[in-house]
Amino acid sequence: MELFWYIVLMTMLAVYVILDGYDFGAGIIHLFFAKKEKDKKAITNAIGPFWDANEVWLIAAGGVLFFAFPTLYASSFSGFYLPLIMILWLLIFRAIGLELRGQIHNSIWQSIWDKAFGISSLLLALFFGVALGNVVRGVNLGGVVNGVSTHEAHYFFLPLWNPTLSPQAEQLGIIDWFTLLLGIIGVVALTIHGANWIIFKTNSDLNEKLKRVVFSLNIVLLALVVISLLVWHIIEPQPFHNFLNTPWLWIFPIITFTGIFGLFKVKTFKKHGLGFLFSSLFLFGGLTSTVASIFPKLLPSTNAINPDLTVYNVAAHEYGLSVGVYWFAIAVVLVAAYMVIQYRVFKGKMDDVGYGEH
């Protein structure tokens, strides 16, 4: 049952990254490329009916984490307390930026909330990439100092950064050069993803420009991914051991690079949805490749004193996991019905939705 709920949790996170990821990317496009009012409206129309529903997947993933892996939930929510609070505030400002912008037709008012929406989206993309970097790198479980645990084996707390910004320091920080690298990859990838969604859902004058932006950023993305794979050896001496031991796992890196290389043809796509499909493949493949590489670890320990937190040592009791399957089946049917109805109602181009206008 632990493996079943692990797959459920990772699937929910992958869906969240793909769906809310295009919201973040659209916010970044809004911040840097939408200069005219009609371009800004095109972007908000493209995501307006979807963004709040997309965020439900994050809440659902948190619920599954709490139910199925309570020890990991307790450990991560205490250890990552500071960045989680920052993410919460960024989600709030991003939401009210979208909702309050159209309440008053005043250029200063609109500019303030445009910046709130765009900057929050940018920082959220960065922080979620950094979060993935922390999971890959691991944390100092138990707060080991000079070979002695200062806390319980599953407890840790990280400041935003340490003075050296090193991922190999005994006292780690949330941000170091490795986690920041993954954060930048997150920003670039979600900017591409958001641009593809705008191209898919609108007939904006920005679309041709966004195709060129996607192509250029994709070169940057490929370079960053290659660099991250090379420096991964510094963090983990055998980063590909799971793939070598279980060859079918190579399907996930193949999906990742299929997404990247497909995006190089974005300028020639006749169907506007193909760019979004390829960026979705990259995000799905990148996330699944990462978690497959560290399985069964959920949160590695950077010291030799306390063990890693794994799928098997942080799971709830077998009885609870089994009972939860029945409620999960009901929830899946309801969510699937809601998502199908929502995306059918708002299928096609969204230029005339008029989201946020009052």
d(CA 189, CA 284): 11
Query: Quick one: which of 171, 120, 138 has its CA closest to 308?
Result: 138
Q: What is the DSSP letter of 105?
A: -
50 near 346, Cβ under 8 Å?
A: yes
- pLDDT by residue (tens digit) across 180-236? 999 999 999 999 999 999 999 998 888 889 999 999 999 999 999 999 999 988 888
* pLDDT value for 147: 81
- pLDDT by residue (tens digit) across 66-76? 999 999 999 99
Whether a cis peptide bond, with omega within 30° of 0, leads into 239 is no
d(CA 325, CA 164): 45
Angle subtended at Cα 357 by Cα 93 and Cα 59, rounded to the nearest 5 degrees: 40
What totals of helices (H) and strands (E) does the chain contain, helices first? 12, 4
* pLDDT value for 280: 96
143 near 96, Cβ under 8 Å?
A: no
* pLDDT value for 281: 96
Strand, coil or helix: 314: coil
Tokens at 352, concatenated: 């005339």
198 near 46, Cβ under 8 Å?
A: yes
* pLDDT value for 259: 95
4 near 332, Cβ under 8 Å?
A: no
Strand, coil or helix: 195: helix
Identify residue 32 by its one-letter amino acid code: F
Whether the model clears a pTM of 0.85, i.e. scores above it, the answer is yes
* pLDDT value for 149: 81
Spatial neighbors of 9 by CB under 8 A, at least 6 apart, are 61, 64, 65, 68, 69
The domains of the chain are located at 2-345
139 near 156, Cβ under 8 Å?
A: yes
Tokens at 323, concatenated: 């009972």
Please report, for residues 8, 35, 40, 111, 271, the alpha-carbon distance to residue 116 in angstroms, rounded to integers and kept in the order given: 33, 16, 14, 9, 33
193 near 22, Cβ under 8 Å?
A: yes
Strands 297-299 and 309-310: antiparallel
d(CA 279, CA 211): 13
* pLDDT value for 356: 62
10-residue mean pLDDT profile of the chain (358 residues): values are 91 93 94 88 87 87 91 90 90 89 82 92 94 91 84 86 85 91 96 94 89 95 94 84 92 95 90 92 95 92 89 88 86 87 83 66
